[in-house]
Structure 1
Protein backbone atom coordinates (compact mmCIF):
# COMPACT_ATOMS: atom_id res chain seq x y z
CA UNK A 1 0.00 0.00 0.00
CA UNK A 2 1.28 3.45 -0.86
CA UNK A 3 1.20 6.14 1.82
CA UNK A 4 -1.33 8.14 -0.19
CA UNK A 5 -3.82 5.30 -0.69
CA UNK A 6 -7.07 5.88 1.20
CA UNK A 7 -7.97 3.31 3.83
CA UNK A 8 -11.18 1.31 3.68
CA UNK A 9 -13.69 2.06 6.43
CA UNK A 10 -14.69 -1.58 7.01
CA UNK A 11 -11.25 -2.88 8.04
CA UNK A 12 -11.05 -2.20 11.78
CA UNK A 13 -11.13 -3.85 15.19
CA UNK A 14 -11.36 -2.86 18.84
CA UNK A 15 -8.87 -3.88 21.48
CA UNK A 16 -9.56 -3.58 25.20
CA UNK A 17 -6.88 -3.38 27.87
CA UNK A 18 -7.71 -3.73 31.52
CA UNK A 19 -11.40 -4.63 31.51
CA UNK A 20 -11.96 -7.76 33.62
CA UNK A 21 -15.12 -8.83 31.77
CA UNK A 22 -14.03 -7.80 28.29
CA UNK A 23 -12.52 -9.77 25.45
CA UNK A 24 -9.06 -8.72 24.30
CA UNK A 25 -10.27 -7.99 20.76
CA UNK A 26 -13.80 -7.41 19.51
CA UNK A 27 -15.29 -6.72 16.12
CA UNK A 28 -18.16 -4.35 15.44
CA UNK A 29 -20.27 -3.48 12.43
CA UNK A 30 -19.92 0.24 13.00
CA UNK A 31 -17.89 2.68 15.07
CA UNK A 32 -18.76 6.37 14.99
CA UNK A 33 -18.12 9.57 16.92
CA UNK A 34 -14.32 9.74 16.98
CA UNK A 35 -13.46 13.37 17.60
CA UNK A 36 -12.33 16.18 19.84
CA UNK A 37 -13.45 19.79 19.92
CA UNK A 38 -11.76 22.65 21.71
CA UNK A 39 -13.75 25.42 23.28
CA UNK A 40 -12.76 28.99 22.56
CA UNK A 41 -11.95 31.48 25.30
CA UNK A 42 -12.05 35.13 24.27
CA UNK A 43 -9.53 37.49 25.82
CA UNK A 44 -10.08 41.22 25.35
CA UNK A 45 -6.77 43.01 25.05
CA UNK A 46 -5.08 46.00 23.46
CA UNK A 47 -2.35 45.87 20.83
CA UNK A 48 0.97 47.69 21.21
CA UNK A 49 -0.46 50.51 19.10
CA UNK A 50 -3.45 50.87 21.44
CA UNK A 51 -6.05 49.19 19.24
CA UNK A 52 -8.45 46.94 21.17
CA UNK A 53 -8.97 43.43 19.83
CA UNK A 54 -10.22 40.05 20.95
CA UNK A 55 -7.69 37.25 21.14
CA UNK A 56 -9.15 33.75 20.76
CA UNK A 57 -7.46 31.11 22.91
CA UNK A 58 -8.05 27.34 22.88
CA UNK A 59 -10.01 26.23 25.95
CA UNK A 60 -10.60 22.76 27.38
CA UNK A 61 -11.19 19.95 24.92
CA UNK A 62 -14.47 18.06 24.74
CA UNK A 63 -14.22 14.45 23.59
CA UNK A 64 -17.10 13.03 21.57
CA UNK A 65 -18.75 9.84 22.81
CA UNK A 66 -17.96 6.79 20.68
CA UNK A 67 -20.84 4.63 19.45
CA UNK A 68 -20.27 0.94 18.74
CA UNK A 69 -22.76 -1.31 16.93
CA UNK A 70 -22.58 -5.04 16.40
CA UNK A 71 -24.72 -8.08 15.85
CA UNK A 72 -25.84 -9.43 19.20
CA UNK A 73 -24.75 -12.93 20.17
CA UNK A 74 -24.68 -14.99 23.36
CA UNK A 75 -21.58 -13.09 24.56
CA UNK A 76 -22.71 -10.88 27.46
CA UNK A 77 -19.35 -9.20 28.16
CA UNK A 78 -20.52 -5.72 27.07
CA UNK A 79 -23.62 -5.97 29.28
CA UNK A 80 -21.48 -7.11 32.23
CA UNK A 81 -19.11 -4.19 31.60
CA UNK A 82 -22.06 -1.78 31.64
CA UNK A 83 -23.32 -3.36 34.89
CA UNK A 84 -19.92 -2.67 36.52
CA UNK A 85 -20.47 1.08 36.02
CA UNK A 86 -23.64 1.00 38.13
CA UNK A 87 -22.02 -0.91 40.98
CA UNK A 88 -20.09 1.49 43.25
CA UNK A 89 -17.60 -1.23 44.18
CA UNK A 90 -16.57 -1.97 40.59
CA UNK A 91 -17.24 1.43 38.93
CA UNK A 92 -13.57 2.44 38.90
CA UNK A 93 -12.59 -0.98 37.55
CA UNK A 94 -15.00 -0.43 34.64
CA UNK A 95 -12.67 2.21 33.19
CA UNK A 96 -10.45 0.69 30.56
CA UNK A 97 -8.27 1.81 27.67
CA UNK A 98 -9.68 1.05 24.23
CA UNK A 99 -7.80 0.99 20.96
CA UNK A 100 -9.56 1.29 17.62
CA UNK A 101 -7.25 -0.20 15.00
CA UNK A 102 -7.63 0.44 11.27
CA UNK A 103 -6.06 -1.95 8.77
CA UNK A 104 -4.58 -1.56 5.29
CA UNK A 105 -5.82 -3.46 2.25
CA UNK A 106 -3.20 -6.09 3.15
CA UNK A 107 -4.83 -6.39 6.64
CA UNK A 108 -1.82 -4.84 8.37
CA UNK A 109 -2.49 -2.39 11.24
CA UNK A 110 -1.98 1.18 10.01
CA UNK A 111 -3.69 3.61 12.39
CA UNK A 112 -4.72 3.39 16.03
CA UNK A 113 -7.00 5.65 18.04
CA UNK A 114 -6.45 5.18 21.78
CA UNK A 115 -9.27 6.09 24.16
CA UNK A 116 -8.17 6.76 27.74
CA UNK A 117 -10.19 5.40 30.67
CA UNK A 118 -13.29 4.61 28.60
CA UNK A 119 -16.49 3.29 30.12
CA UNK A 120 -19.96 2.53 28.76
CA UNK A 121 -22.50 5.28 29.40
CA UNK A 122 -25.30 3.61 27.43
CA UNK A 123 -26.17 0.18 26.09
CA UNK A 124 -29.13 -0.78 23.91
CA UNK A 125 -30.42 -4.17 22.92
CA UNK A 126 -31.94 -5.25 19.61
CA UNK A 127 -35.21 -4.17 18.05
CA UNK A 128 -37.56 -7.10 17.59
CA UNK A 129 -39.61 -7.17 14.39
CA UNK A 130 -41.54 -10.19 13.16
CA UNK A 131 -41.37 -9.08 9.53
CA UNK A 132 -37.60 -8.51 9.44
CA UNK A 133 -34.69 -10.73 8.45
CA UNK A 134 -32.07 -8.25 9.67
CA UNK A 135 -29.38 -9.22 12.16
CA UNK A 136 -30.30 -8.26 15.74
CA UNK A 137 -28.00 -5.38 16.74
CA UNK A 138 -26.75 -4.08 20.07
CA UNK A 139 -25.35 -0.59 20.55
CA UNK A 140 -22.86 0.66 23.12
CA UNK A 141 -21.89 4.28 23.79
CA UNK A 142 -18.47 4.91 25.34
CA UNK A 143 -17.30 8.07 27.05
CA UNK A 144 -13.61 8.62 27.69
CA UNK A 145 -11.06 11.04 29.12
CA UNK A 146 -8.92 11.60 26.05
CA UNK A 147 -7.98 10.32 22.62
CA UNK A 148 -4.70 9.96 20.78
CA UNK A 149 -4.02 8.84 17.22
CA UNK A 150 -0.90 6.99 16.17
CA UNK A 151 0.41 5.43 13.00
CA UNK A 152 1.24 1.88 13.98
CA UNK A 153 4.95 1.60 14.75
CA UNK A 154 5.75 5.08 13.47
CA UNK A 155 7.54 7.78 15.43
CA UNK A 156 5.96 10.38 13.13
CA UNK A 157 2.48 9.59 14.43
CA UNK A 158 3.56 9.82 18.06
CA UNK A 159 5.38 13.10 17.49
CA UNK A 160 2.48 14.63 15.59
CA UNK A 161 -0.06 14.05 18.40
CA UNK A 162 -2.84 15.13 16.06
CA UNK A 163 -5.66 14.35 18.51
Structure 2
Protein backbone atom coordinates (compact mmCIF):
# COMPACT_ATOMS: atom_id res chain seq x y z
CA UNK A 1 0.00 0.00 0.00
CA UNK A 2 1.38 3.36 -1.03
CA UNK A 3 1.40 6.52 1.09
CA UNK A 4 -0.64 8.20 -1.66
CA UNK A 5 -3.44 5.57 -1.67
CA UNK A 6 -5.60 7.40 0.87
CA UNK A 7 -5.09 10.78 -0.77
CA UNK A 8 -5.72 10.24 -4.47
CA UNK A 9 -8.87 8.13 -4.60
CA UNK A 10 -12.26 9.61 -3.68
CA UNK A 11 -12.91 9.17 0.05
CA UNK A 12 -15.36 6.58 1.33
CA UNK A 13 -18.52 7.84 3.00
CA UNK A 14 -18.55 5.51 6.02
CA UNK A 15 -15.77 7.21 8.01
CA UNK A 16 -16.95 10.55 9.35
CA UNK A 17 -17.33 12.58 12.53
CA UNK A 18 -20.02 14.94 13.78
CA UNK A 19 -19.29 17.51 16.47
CA UNK A 20 -21.97 19.84 17.76
CA UNK A 21 -20.28 22.85 19.32
CA UNK A 22 -21.92 22.62 22.73
CA UNK A 23 -20.63 21.70 26.16
CA UNK A 24 -20.69 19.40 27.96
CA UNK A 25 -20.84 16.37 25.68
CA UNK A 26 -20.52 12.68 26.32
CA UNK A 27 -18.84 10.16 23.99
CA UNK A 28 -22.35 9.07 22.92
CA UNK A 29 -23.00 12.60 21.65
CA UNK A 30 -20.30 12.14 18.98
CA UNK A 31 -21.57 8.86 17.53
CA UNK A 32 -23.88 8.87 14.53
CA UNK A 33 -24.91 6.16 12.10
CA UNK A 34 -25.56 8.49 9.17
CA UNK A 35 -25.66 12.13 8.09
CA UNK A 36 -27.78 13.44 5.21
CA UNK A 37 -28.95 16.83 4.03
CA UNK A 38 -25.71 18.63 3.22
CA UNK A 39 -27.33 20.22 0.22
CA UNK A 40 -27.74 23.75 -1.09
CA UNK A 41 -29.93 24.88 -3.96
CA UNK A 42 -30.14 28.20 -5.78
CA UNK A 43 -33.41 28.67 -7.65
CA UNK A 44 -33.09 31.16 -10.50
CA UNK A 45 -35.66 33.94 -10.67
CA UNK A 46 -37.09 34.38 -14.16
CA UNK A 47 -37.65 37.94 -15.37
CA UNK A 48 -39.23 38.80 -18.71
CA UNK A 49 -37.88 41.80 -20.59
CA UNK A 50 -40.42 44.01 -22.33
CA UNK A 51 -40.23 43.67 -26.12
CA UNK A 52 -37.99 40.55 -25.98
CA UNK A 53 -39.99 37.40 -26.74
CA UNK A 54 -37.16 34.95 -27.53
CA UNK A 55 -35.98 34.36 -23.97
CA UNK A 56 -36.37 35.36 -20.34
CA UNK A 57 -33.55 36.47 -18.07
CA UNK A 58 -32.65 34.23 -15.15
CA UNK A 59 -31.01 35.64 -12.03
CA UNK A 60 -29.74 33.73 -8.98
CA UNK A 61 -31.68 34.06 -5.72
CA UNK A 62 -30.75 33.42 -2.09
CA UNK A 63 -29.41 29.87 -1.50
CA UNK A 64 -31.82 27.43 0.16
CA UNK A 65 -30.31 24.82 2.49
CA UNK A 66 -31.90 21.45 3.22
CA UNK A 67 -32.28 20.23 6.78
CA UNK A 68 -29.52 18.01 8.16
CA UNK A 69 -30.68 14.59 9.32
CA UNK A 70 -28.56 12.76 11.90
CA UNK A 71 -29.27 9.13 12.82
CA UNK A 72 -27.87 7.16 15.74
CA UNK A 73 -28.75 4.54 18.29
CA UNK A 74 -30.89 5.81 21.16
CA UNK A 75 -28.72 6.75 24.18
CA UNK A 76 -29.62 7.61 27.76
CA UNK A 77 -27.91 10.64 29.28
CA UNK A 78 -27.15 12.42 26.01
CA UNK A 79 -26.75 16.20 26.14
CA UNK A 80 -27.76 16.40 22.48
CA UNK A 81 -31.01 14.61 23.34
CA UNK A 82 -31.58 17.17 26.13
CA UNK A 83 -30.90 20.01 23.67
CA UNK A 84 -33.50 18.57 21.30
CA UNK A 85 -35.98 18.00 24.13
CA UNK A 86 -35.65 21.63 25.25
CA UNK A 87 -36.33 22.83 21.71
CA UNK A 88 -39.21 20.51 20.85
CA UNK A 89 -41.01 20.19 24.20
CA UNK A 90 -40.20 23.51 25.90
CA UNK A 91 -39.79 25.66 22.76
CA UNK A 92 -36.40 26.90 24.03
CA UNK A 93 -34.12 27.10 21.00
CA UNK A 94 -30.38 27.41 21.46
CA UNK A 95 -28.58 27.36 18.08
CA UNK A 96 -25.18 25.67 17.89
CA UNK A 97 -22.63 25.28 15.12
CA UNK A 98 -21.98 21.76 13.82
CA UNK A 99 -18.79 20.36 12.26
CA UNK A 100 -19.25 17.40 9.94
CA UNK A 101 -15.96 15.91 8.74
CA UNK A 102 -15.27 13.19 6.21
CA UNK A 103 -12.19 11.27 7.37
CA UNK A 104 -9.56 9.29 5.49
CA UNK A 105 -8.04 5.96 6.55
CA UNK A 106 -5.66 7.81 8.90
CA UNK A 107 -8.64 9.53 10.64
CA UNK A 108 -7.60 12.89 9.17
CA UNK A 109 -10.36 15.16 7.81
CA UNK A 110 -10.46 15.19 4.02
CA UNK A 111 -13.34 17.66 3.96
CA UNK A 112 -15.26 19.48 6.68
CA UNK A 113 -18.59 21.25 6.53
CA UNK A 114 -19.07 23.98 9.13
CA UNK A 115 -22.82 24.35 9.69
CA UNK A 116 -23.87 27.62 11.31
CA UNK A 117 -26.62 28.16 13.89
CA UNK A 118 -28.27 24.75 13.74
CA UNK A 119 -31.25 23.93 15.93
CA UNK A 120 -33.51 20.88 16.19
CA UNK A 121 -36.83 20.93 14.34
CA UNK A 122 -37.76 17.25 14.45
CA UNK A 123 -36.97 14.21 16.58
CA UNK A 124 -38.22 10.74 15.76
CA UNK A 125 -37.68 7.27 17.20
CA UNK A 126 -37.76 4.13 15.07
CA UNK A 127 -40.58 1.64 15.49
CA UNK A 128 -40.72 -0.92 18.26
CA UNK A 129 -41.38 -4.36 16.82
CA UNK A 130 -41.50 -7.58 18.85
CA UNK A 131 -40.76 -9.61 15.71
CA UNK A 132 -37.44 -7.92 14.95
CA UNK A 133 -34.15 -7.75 16.82
CA UNK A 134 -33.00 -4.28 15.73
CA UNK A 135 -31.53 -1.25 17.45
CA UNK A 136 -33.78 1.66 18.33
CA UNK A 137 -32.69 4.52 16.06
CA UNK A 138 -33.08 8.16 17.05
CA UNK A 139 -33.37 10.57 14.11
CA UNK A 140 -32.58 14.25 14.67
CA UNK A 141 -33.45 16.85 12.05
CA UNK A 142 -31.67 20.20 12.24
CA UNK A 143 -32.46 23.46 10.45
CA UNK A 144 -29.59 25.92 10.02
CA UNK A 145 -28.65 29.20 8.37
CA UNK A 146 -25.89 28.05 6.01
CA UNK A 147 -22.74 25.97 5.79
CA UNK A 148 -19.22 26.47 4.50
CA UNK A 149 -16.92 23.79 3.16
CA UNK A 150 -13.55 23.96 4.87
CA UNK A 151 -10.28 22.79 3.46
CA UNK A 152 -11.24 20.36 0.70
CA UNK A 153 -8.85 21.89 -1.85
CA UNK A 154 -6.24 22.87 0.74
CA UNK A 155 -6.35 19.46 2.46
CA UNK A 156 -5.94 17.57 -0.80
CA UNK A 157 -3.13 19.77 -2.10
CA UNK A 158 -1.34 19.77 1.26
CA UNK A 159 -1.89 16.05 1.74
CA UNK A 160 -0.56 15.15 -1.69
CA UNK A 161 2.44 17.42 -1.15
CA UNK A 162 3.14 15.87 2.25
CA UNK A 163 2.65 12.33 0.96
CA UNK A 164 4.91 13.02 -2.02
CA UNK A 165 7.66 14.29 0.25
CA UNK A 166 7.25 11.27 2.54
CA UNK A 167 7.28 8.92 -0.46
CA UNK A 168 10.35 10.72 -1.81
CA UNK A 169 12.05 10.36 1.56
CA UNK A 170 11.21 6.66 1.67
CA UNK A 171 12.53 6.15 -1.87
CA UNK A 172 15.75 7.99 -1.00
CA UNK A 173 16.20 5.84 2.12
CA UNK A 174 15.89 2.63 0.08
Q: Is 123-132 or 100-109 further displaced after alignment?
A: 123-132
Q: RMSD in angstroms over aligned alpha carbons?
A: 2.6
- 2:5 equivalent to 1:12: no
Number of equivalenced pairs: 150
**Between Structure 1 and Structure 2, whose CA radius of gyration is higher?**
2
User: Which residue matches 1:129?
Assistant: 129
Q: Is the 8 A contact 2:46 2:56 kept in 1?
A: yes
1:154 is paired with a residue whose SS is helix
Structure 1 or 2: more strand by fraction? 1
* Structure 1 residue 101 displacement after superposition: 0.7
Q: Is the 8 A contact 1:99 1:112 kept in 2?
A: yes
Q: Provide structure 2 residue ranges, at least 5 long, that are not aligned to the other structure.
A: 158-174
Q: Provide structure 1 residue ranges, at least 5 long, that are not aligned to the other structure.
A: 158-163
Structure 1 or 2: more helix by fraction? 2
The TM-score normalised by the length of structure 2 is 0.75
The TM-score normalised by the length of structure 1 is 0.79
1:80 is paired with a residue whose SS is helix
2:62 is paired with a residue whose SS is strand
Deviations 1:57-84 (A, max 9, x none): 1111110001111011223323311133
Q: Is the 8 A contact 1:72 1:126 kept in 2?
A: no
Structure 1 distance, partners of 2:23, 2:106, is: 32
From 24, 30, 33, give the equivalent of 2:34.
30
User: Which residue matches 2:147?
Assistant: 147
